[in-house]
Structure 1
Amino acid sequence: MRRILTVLVAVLLAAAAVPGAAAARAEPGTSTTGPAVSDGTAQGWKLADRIRHRVRPPKIPVRKVVVTDFGADPTGTRESTAAFRKAIAAAAGKGGGRVVVPAGTFLTGAIHLRSGIDLHLAEGSVVKFSQDPADYLPAVYTRWEGVELYNYSPFVYARKARNVAITGSGTLDGQADATHWWNWAGATQTADRAELFRMGESGVPVEQRRFGGGHYLRPNFVQFYESENILVQGVKIVGSPMWMVHPVLSRNVLVDRVTLESHGPNNDGVNPESSRDVVIRDSAFDNGDDCIAIKSGRNADGRRVNVPSENIVVHGNTMRDGHGGVVIGSEMSGSVRNVFAEDNVMDSPNLDRALRIKTNSVRGGVVENVYFRDNEVLEVGQEVIWINFFYEEGDAGAFTPTVRGVHVEDLKSNGGQYALYLRGYERSPISDVTITNATFDNVGTPMLLEHVRDLRLTNVLINGEPYDD
């Protein structure tokens, strides 16, 4: 305990020089998203088992249609957008079914799924998405970095759909690269991004937030909006403009044995946003941004919608490059609770962090009940466990965030600049953090702790030295 206190005092003294680190503000009076499951980890993991049990694949009729029967070109020479649309309409008109993409290469614009449809990519199939932004118009109702608007259609999109799936062993190739989509990031999108955020903060009705043609906000790859009973299984997804698999305001979502490889800007792997009962399992991530990032809306617009992400289970995955393995935020204004990550393997010097929670007083929101067990971090580049209230805007808003109930068990890690990097606010300390049976090897600095309450370390080794309380 003396060692921990020494580290804590030293860090707090150093933090005095950090602008805004301990600036006093009145509590904004925001409420939490609900009660904690329990302050005992065993009870928490019982909830994880219940979530795993109740998240089930959708029920899709056994009938099938084949896109080539509707004129799809398997050579990829001409666009097959109309053929995909006709095949989906034909299956939906009969009450749903499997829309099969056979072996071959198919060029298409946006694919819009409907209730009861399974888009099935057979072995040897590649669906290549057009690099022409006009092929993703008219604009659709969507969410972009946590703010609702009308924008270019995601490449595969469903809204208010039930029992919908993408399955098979084929590949979805977004064909994004340095001269298509990715070049919109940074300065090109700056004006549109600022205008969208202004609209969100000012309460401009979503119907008036019209972007798309003539604007530069990249679409997400796969998005299910206000939908339920969703399955993404077996496919490989590459070359994404932005976020890759993005369920929004949806429930009963299963991502199973999916490969996500894309190294462009903001290329997160799976981003459940304001969604409930989500299982992400046995998948492989190699990304230009966070592997899995759980979100719930941004700033005023997130508070307007006010729907948390909750009951998320992440297990059996492999994670290589990325800004973080399991991440919460930063668009988390609607709050996040009951997140469980178990039996994942993280292994890359280009994976910055294993568990990452990012927020600030502009975002606000509550993060509670985060469980991280039996994960193996073979190599990591920066911080193993990272909770930071000073992400991007720092402490510049009136919506003080809360993070409480973070429980890490049976962790082995190698490398990184810090084992624990925890920066809260003086008025809102990070609270109830437990680290149990953990070994952090080859760490540059054991800890940075700033405004942390009720940190409990049990059987913890950092660079071979014990750090128990």
Structure 2
Amino acid sequence: MKRSSLELSRRHFLQASVSLALVSGCSSTFSSAKQPVMIDTITVSAPFSMPPIKIPNFTAAPVFNIKEFGAKPESKESNDRAIAAAISTAHSNGGGIVFIPEGSWQVGPIHFKSFVNLHIAEGAILHFSGDPKDYLPAVKTTWEGMECYNYSPLIYAYECVEIAITGKGLLTTQMDIWTIWGKRPKPHMEALASLYHQAAKGIPVEDRVMTYEGANLRPHFIQFNRCQNVLIEDINIENSPFWVLHPFLCRDVVIRRVNVKAHGHNNDGIDPEMTQNMLIEDSIFDQGDDALAVKSGRNQDAWRINVPTKNLVMRNCRIKQGHQLLAVGSELSGGVENVLVENCQFDDGTQYSGTGNLMFIKTNERRGGYVKNIYMRNVKAHNIGGAPLAVETDVLYQWRNLVPTYEKRLTPIEGLYLENIEVKTAKHLCKIEAQDEMPVKNVELKNVKVEQLLGENVIEKNVQNLVVS
């Protein structure tokens, strides 16, 4: 099947209530005689209606080796120029593979264009700079559910279609500065408060520039922003300034056979946000935060965009360590529905006090949005610090006293289903704490077993129709 045109992609986004302003480099059409990128369609079984996922196939695409564009392992400047030139050439060709050969390559940020596969060969290492100045000028991105202009993600795509990162090589970065920034000193917290106020008051995103001295908003490792037909396959990632893999306002995304090890601050493995039709499979996560953190924006910003995260399947994955296997929220103001996690293994969820849940739904009085139809089945875990299922509706962290509630909107939560879960040690079987005004509805735990409980079996506050069988 031939790939769709960009105009079809634009209409697809518009149907999701996202208005695209086409960006130079990610918007082109090509003659029917020049189609080096094809489309594969993947059908995914789920307990909800899951549309087929369409991803790019670069089998017939030409290869552009960065050495042919002047790349030199020891020269970051040469490598940046070579990779950018190879990406532009592949894009202008109508599609192609930008090939990173074996060796150690010093690089700055990599910006995608449509119809490009960045292939990191086995034995190749992309060492991303740890100097924040290399990630300027600022780009349109996000910070914890709020849009802004910030340091470029290490790998960044904006309004692109049919793009991929493949290969068995390694992506890594120097952590010295990012670790210092992760301590969140007072100027950083003041910057976060400022961004929160701007978003709440509807200040245009173009005016929310967060790269001033002291703000220290760390960039994502990989962010695909408003993209469609995305494939990430086989790569290894070590270390990350912030969230590791962040598809934001994307459609049709597959992440498979990736190996992520990142234990810095906020190092979630994957943060799908306002993204629809997504498959994660056969991957390994070793995280300093949640393995899969499903989000859909924060407060007024998300209500403005108004796109839920929907139709997401994670299967056959191993979590070596992390806060939660699956977290939903707390940035869920656009809504989250139709999520399935199945056939996964969670080794260690005891390293962090009060966490280590298999399914954790978290929100607060500011979020609004909704959560419904969240499924987990056929999951095994060793020792977890929390419970197979936990729900908390008053999670505000440092924001509780940092900024006020502009508008109170509670989060309806309905339809949480766990089946065939085996845990060796946990604090609780189930812990749900909801508001009086907005009870959690329709929760079922079927064949959920914990060999050793360290606390009360079931804690429920404001729950309607909880079934444990």
TM-score (norm 2): 0.85
Identify which of 169, 175, 183 aligns with 2:180. Answer: 183
Q: Report whether the alignment pairs 1:334 with 2:331.
A: no
Aligned to 2:134, the other structure's residue is in SS state helix
Q: 1:447 aligns with which of 444, 455, 458?
A: 458
Question: Are positions 1:192 and 2:187 aligned together?
Answer: no
Q: Say whether the 8 Å CA contact 2:240–2:267 is kept in structure 1.
A: yes
Q: Please report how far the alpha carbon of residue 96 of structure 1 lies from its aligned counterpart in structure 2 after TM superposition.
A: 1.4
Matches within 5 A, 1:8-407: 47-48=46-47, 51=50, 54-60=52-58, 61-75=60-74, 80-176=79-175, 179-185=176-182, 186-187=184-185, 189-214=188-213, 215-348=215-348, 349-350=350-351, 352-392=356-396, 398-407=408-417
> Distance between the aligned counterparts of 1:428 and 1:207, measured in 2?
36
Name the CA distance, whole Å, in 1 between partners of 2:301 and 2:117.
Answer: 32
Aligned equivalents of 2:320 and 2:351: distance in 1? 7
Assess if the C-alpha contact under 8 Å between 2:76 and 2:108 holds in 1: no
Which stretch shows the higher mean deviation, 282-291 or 72-81? 72-81
Q: Provide the C-alpha distance between the structure 2 equivalents of 1:84 and 1:48, rounded to a whole number of angstroms.
A: 42
In structure 2, the CA distance between the partners of 1:448 and 1:79, relative to structure 1 (3 Å rule), is farther
Take 1:46 and 1:97, find their aligned partners in 2: how far apart are those partners? 31
| Secondary structure at the counterpart of residue 375 of structure 2 | strand
Does the 8 A contact of 2:70 with 2:78 survive in 1? Answer: no
Residue 425, structure 1, aligned to residue 414, structure 2: no
> Which whole-Å CA distance do the structure 2 matches of 1:441 and 1:303 have between them?
43
Deviates further, 382-391 or 338-347:
382-391
Q: What amino acid maps onto 1:289 in structure 2?
A: D
Q: Select which of 436, 454, 457 maps to 2:468.
A: 457
Q: Is contact 1:133–1:213 with CA below 8 Å preserved after alignment? A: no
Following the alignment from structure 1 to structure 2, what is the Cα–Cα distance between the partners of residues 213 and 190?
13
**Separation of aligned partners in 2, 1:365 and 1:140:** 27
2:76–2:107 CA contact under 8 A, matched in 1: no
Distance apart, 1:364 and its partner CA: 1.5
Select between 84-93 and 155-164 the one with higher mean Cα deviation: 84-93
The alpha carbon displacement at 1:216 in A equals 1.0
Residue 373 of structure 1: SS of its match in structure 2? Answer: strand
Deviation at 1:117, TM superposition (A): 0.3
Moved more, 131-140 or 310-319: 131-140
Q: Is the 8 A contact 1:74 1:103 kept in 2?
A: no
- Per-residue CA deviation, residues 198-250 of structure 1 (Å, 9 max, x unaligned), is 11111101111112253311100001011000001000111100000000000
SS at match of 1:379: strand
User: 2:426 is paired with a residue of what secondary structure?
Assistant: coil
Distance 1:204 1:68, change over 3 A: same
Q: Give the Cα–Cα distance (whole angstroms) in 2 for the partners of residues 85 and 160 of structure 1.
A: 17
Instruction: Give the alignment's Cα RMSD to 1 decimal.
Output: 1.9
Q: Give the partner amino acid of 1:294.
A: V
SS in 2 for 1:442: strand
Distance 2:273 2:462 in 1: 28
Q: Shift in Å at residue 66 of structure 1?
A: 0.5
CA 49–101 in structure 1, closer or farther in 2 if over 3 Å, else same: farther
Distance in 2, matches of 1:383 and 1:411, equals 11
Q: Secondary structure at the match of 1:181?
A: helix
Change (3 A) 1:169 1:80: same
Rate the CA distance shift 1:121–1:128 in 2: closer, same or farther, 3 A.
same
Relative distance call for 1:361 and 1:77 in structure 2 (3 A) is closer
Structure 2 CA distance for aligned equivalents of residues 357 and 103 of structure 1 = 42
Distance in 2 (CA, whole Å) between partners of 1:444 and 1:281 is 32
Whole-angstrom distance in 2 between the partners of 1:189 and 1:120: 36
Report deviation, 1:174. Answer: 2.1
TM-score, normalising length from structure 1? 0.85
Deviations 1:121-164 (A, max 9, x none): 00100001011111111111111100011111100000111100
Per the alignment, in what secondary structure is the counterpart of residue 304 of structure 2? helix
SS at match of 1:448: strand
Are the counterparts in 1 of residues 298 and 333 from structure 2 also a CA contact under 8 Å? Answer: yes
Cα 1:79–1:48 shift into 2, 3 Å: farther
1:296–1:336 contact (8 Å) kept in structure 2: yes
Which letter maps to 2:377? R
User: How far apart are the structure 1 equivalents of 2:129 and 2:103?
Assistant: 16
Gaps of 5+ in 1: 1-32, 34-44, 459-469
Q: Which amino acid aligns with 2:138?
A: A
Counterparts of 1:56 and 1:280 in 2: how far apart (Å)? 14
Hey, what's the Cα distance between the residues in 2 that align with 1:140 and 1:374? 41
Tell me, what secondary structure is at the counterpart of 2:94? coil
Q: Distance in 1 between matches of 2:77 and 2:122?
A: 21
Percent identity over paired residues: 34
